Chain A
Amino acid sequence: MASTGASRGGAASPRPPQGRSSRQDKYSVLLPTYNERENLPLIVWLLVKSFSESAINYEIIIIDDGSPDGTREVAEQLEKIYGSDRILLRPREKKLGLGTAYIHGIKHATGNYVIIMDADLSHHPKFIPEFIRKQKEGNFDIVSGTRYKGNGGVYGWDLKRKIISRGANFITQILLRPGASDLTGSFRLYRKEVLQKLIEKCVSKGYVFQMEMIVRARQLNYTIGEVPISFVDRVYGESKLGGNEIVSFLKGLLTLFATT
């Protein structure tokens, strides 16, 4: 599997030395959920399995935005099964958006690394040990899962979706030259302080928020490593990518182009 690192920036921002014992590292997974009653137990089970098999110290922070389908009740059951030191419930009253969910989650994270991912099983936790390995290998501030390089890929996309995705990525690479192959991906490992810093600086929403994080990270001379991942789109029956989303993506892209 081809893992690629990105280039380093000029002046280095202070980076912790690599000699720190990996036994002291703790990984906090932020799981913002909305109506994930069915998927939540499965993703938690997979996370626990991946972490336990690799003897990694972890916690899973579930940030539920007042889901009406009973996600919270399921989360409470999971907390009982796996323990409240592993499963942290930090719900919110209503749907408030991803950026604020991350901020909320970080406040309660006791790990020194934070992993963000989707809770709908499109991201598989088995890649997390690879993220960790990659991070240690290059002492990266961020490790991003990429669908566009190496063994990375997608299941469940038709031709039209693939064209839009590759086309958008091409335009993004040309305009922003970001040094990362998958900007809209949301399966990433961050040093906690790096994530905190970046969220403070980011102003966009949705797909563009994820893009802006990487662009700002490059501005601040953070280093970014990449690991190929597989993305399993289980909602491929519905039209998840409407005209509206494309327009707002382009608007966001042009804004980043003109302001960074």
Chain B
Amino acid sequence: MLKLTQWLWGLGLLDSAWAALTMGALDLELSFPCQEVLWPLPAYLLVSAGCYALGIVGYSVATFHDCEDAVRELQSQILEAQADLTRNGLCF
């Protein structure tokens, strides 16, 4: 199944479940507090998902490894390489 299809199915399922519950289509005698929460639930979940995304991206940017050693090592190896290659007859 395509990723897009999976998403549409998943969202469709959640949407119809929410719609069914809020419009009383399932004949469930939900208590009033439940109904109160159910109504804004999608909006709440959406905003939560957005915050989660921001959190994850922020955290991963903050912990993005800066490879200082790699650069130092590369720079010294470049010098070594240039010397060795010139010895072997390379004209840069």
Contacts and interface: CB of A to CB of B under 8 A. Distances in A.
Interface of A: 38, 41-42, 45-46, 74, 77-78, 80-81, 121, 124, 148, 151-157, 159, 162-163, 166-167, 169-170, 174-177, 230-232, 256-260
A148 to B, nearest CB: 7
A39 B17 CA distance: 59
B67 interface: yes
Contacts of B78: 42, 121
A155 B57 contact: no
B84 A45 contact: yes
Contacts of B88: 81
A45 B78 CA distance: 9
Given A45-B84, A159-B61, A232-B67, A38 B92 contact: yes
B27 interface: no
17 contacts: A38-B92, A45-B81, A46-B81, A77-B90, A81-B85, A81-B88, A154-B65, A155-B71, A157-B64, A166-B60, A170-B56, A175-B3, A176-B3, A230-B70, A232-B74, A258-B3, A260-B3
Contacts of A162: 61, 64
Interface string B21-65: 000000000000000000000000000000001001100110011
Q: For the complex, would chain B's binding face be called helix, strand, loop or mixed by DSSP majority? A: helix
A124 B65 contact: no
A163 B57 contact: yes
Contacts of B73: 124
A124 B74 contact: yes
Contacts of B82: 41-42
A41 B89 CA distance: 12
A74 B85 CA distance: 11
List of 6 A-B pairs having minimum Cβ-Cβ separation, nearest first: A153-B65, A230-B67, A230-B70, A45-B81, A155-B67, A153-B67
B3 A257 contact: yes
Contacts of B53: 170, 174
B81 A154 contact: no
Contact of A41 (B60, B70, B90): B90
Given A81-B89, A257-B3, A170 B57 contact: yes
A130 B78 CA distance: 21
Given A38-B92, A121-B74, A155-B70, A166 B81 contact: no
Contacts of A175: 3, 7
A166 B57 contact: yes
A151 B68 CA distance: 12
Contacts of B90: 41, 74, 77-78, 81
A162 B63 CA distance: 10
A46 B77 contact: yes
Nearest to B81: A45
Contacts of A154: 64-67
B79 to A, nearest CB: 10
Given A45-B81, A81-B88, A159-B61, A232 B2 contact: no
